[in-house]
Chains A and B, each alone.
Chain A
């Protein structure tokens, strides 16, 4: 007769079975998942660090954009303004006794800027009025460059003058195209 009783044999078998289950479960499932967790967690930390670097860089660039926009608000608005001959005449009539503006003609674009040429014929009382006009044009609503040829002719009732002006305006289509191209390249 065996000295181990039947319940003890059952107990032993169940213990062995459960032990094997625990070992198999641990080594086949739990430990590989744990390893995967460790790798993913390191990866995640790397990704978070990378993302923060990108975010900081992006914030810096956005800051520069905002600073430039705030600092040069007048210039940016002037580049967006449509040239209006009537408004121009109204704005600068105090410097001339007569002022006539020809319709604008579009010239070749300079980089992302549209360029229009406008001819002006005017009458001034003294050259000082013209100097004042040149000062005022730098503070006006548009970005205007006064160009050669400039002609002054003495008349009985003052000095007649004629000159050409180049009006600059940002070409939004070109600017947008530039941004799109940039995105495609990335």
Chain B
């Protein structure tokens, strides 16, 4: 004989409240764990990217020093070439001035241009013409001028003129100009 009209409910630990609680906590724990995994992944990726960045920065550092060195070489090349071009242009000017200096009545047979001097060999109708027309301008340019004469076959006079610039005189001239 049964004491109830309904079938007895089977008792279980998984009640409605328990299921609700489990689902609530499962969701919370899932979110926490996924956040944790995200942070672990992100931190790892930061560390890796930072190491790569540092390496790239070091490479850039090397590139920068290379570029600086290249700039120096290129500037050195340009400055040396400009100096040489200037030197050649000045040389041309000096030679032009030298030949312009020689009066038409005096004929040169040889000219030797030195670093700080000039040696001229030539022939002049007489000593006076040489003194007035060539010696005077040479004296104004060079600090030391020596000339020796000897007679030529045609009655003219051959001359050898040796002229030097004293480096100390040049220094004095420079100082005067600067002042």
Q: Please list the residues of chain A having a beta carbon within 8 angstroms of any beta carbon in chain B.
A: 7, 10-11, 14-15, 18, 21-22, 25-26, 29-30, 33-34, 36-37, 40-41, 43-44, 47-48, 50-51, 54-55, 57-58, 61-62, 64-65, 68-69, 72, 75-76, 78-79, 110-113, 127, 130-131, 134-135, 137-138, 143-146, 148-154, 168, 170, 175, 178-179, 182-183, 186
Q: With A33-B40, A138-B85, A151-B110 in contact, do A179 and B69 touch (Cβ < 8 Å)?
A: yes
Residue B15 is within 8 A (CB to CB) of chain A in the complex: yes
**Contact (Cβ within 8 A) B81 A143:** yes
Shortest C-beta distance, B50 to chain A (Å), equals 5
Contacts of B15 in A (CB 8 A): 7, 11
**Contact (Cβ within 8 A) A131 B57:** no
**Contact (Cβ within 8 A) A64 B71:** yes
Interface string of B74-99 (1 = CB under 8 A from A): 11111011001101110110011001
Extra contacts, 7 of them, besides A40-B47, A134-B95 (Cβ < 8 A), are A40-B50, A41-B46, A47-B53, A61-B71, A65-B67, A76-B77, A183-B66
Chain B, range 102-158, C-beta contacts under 8 Å to A: 107-115
**Contact (Cβ within 8 A) B88 A145:** yes
Contacts of A146 in B (CB 8 A): 87-88, 91
Contacts of B18 in A (CB 8 A): 7, 10-11, 14
Size of interface on B: residues with Cβ below 8 Å to A: 64
The stretch among B1-9, B27-35, B160-168, B171-179 that forms the contact with chain A is: B27-35
**Contact (Cβ within 8 A) A65 B70:** yes
Bound: A7/B53 CA distance, A: 58
A179, closest chain B residue (CB): B69
Contacts of B57 in A (CB 8 A): 47, 50-51, 54
Q: With A37-B42, A61-B71 in contact, do A148 and B77 touch (Cβ < 8 Å)?
A: no
B25, closest chain A residue (CB): A18
